[in-house]
């Protein structure tokens, strides 16, 4: 909050310490007029070289930053990563095509009559087709549990969500009597 202002501080501005290894930095909170005043005098490019400033101001700056959805470990289906593309629109199109392809395969499996829509999604999660049998199901389940379990990843719990999805998919499919 600005020392000369009684209004509530609704707008965040960088504080005296930056984000780092020890956690997020401090923030200052200002009213609209004082945050504008702060921004007008703030040097956003302090400590950057001319090349770094130019790169930061480029129209596509920041699009190569990976989000969890585009990492190579994003899911069983290995969705594309930002770094695999020169154009961000190609990356978005590849992701959309992957989603459409997955939905089409799930629909085809569900239409076969052997699996429900939920079971078709579970097969997709495990990376299996409609020709699955008990042996293939158990083998794939074991493989994915070993891949995503924290004990196999140095204690990293980053794959915990995927592991949970794999376990749920297996639990659903193992109850299906048509999987012999």
Strand-pair partners of 13: 28
pLDDT tens for residues 82-100?
Answer: 666 777 788 788 878 878 8
pLDDT tens for residues 115-154?
Answer: 888 888 888 888 888 888 899 999 999 998 888 888 877 7
**DSSP string for 96-152:** HHHHHHHHHHHHHHHHTSSS-HHHHHHHHHHT--TT--HHHHHHHHHHHHHHH-GGG
- Band of pLDDT at residue 170, cut at 50, 70 and 90: very high
The pLDDT assigned to 169 comes to 92
The pLDDT assigned to 78 comes to 52
């Amino acid at each position: 909050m600005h020392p000369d202002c009684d209004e509530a501080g609704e707008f965040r501005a960088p504080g005296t310490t930056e984000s780092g290894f020890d956690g997020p930095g401090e923030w200052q909170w200002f009213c609209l007029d004082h945050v504008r005043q702060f921004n007008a005098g703030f040097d956003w490019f302090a400590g950057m070289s001319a090349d770094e400033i130019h790169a930061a101001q480029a129209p596509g700056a920041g699009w190569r930053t990976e989000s969890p959805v585009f990492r190579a470990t994003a899911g069983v289906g290995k969705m594309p990563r930002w770094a695999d593309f020169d154009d961000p629109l190609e990356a978005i199109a590849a992701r959309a095509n992957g989603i459409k392809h997955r939905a089409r395969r799930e629909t085809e499996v569900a239409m076969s009559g052997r699996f429900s829509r939920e079971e078709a999604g579970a097969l997709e999660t495990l990376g299996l087709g409609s020709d699955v049998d008990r042996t293939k199901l158990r083998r794939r389940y074991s493989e994915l549990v070993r891949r995503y379990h924290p004990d196999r990843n140095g204690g990293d719990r980053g794959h915990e969500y995927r592991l949970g999805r794999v376990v749920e998919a297996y639990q659903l499919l193992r109850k299906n009597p048509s999987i012999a």
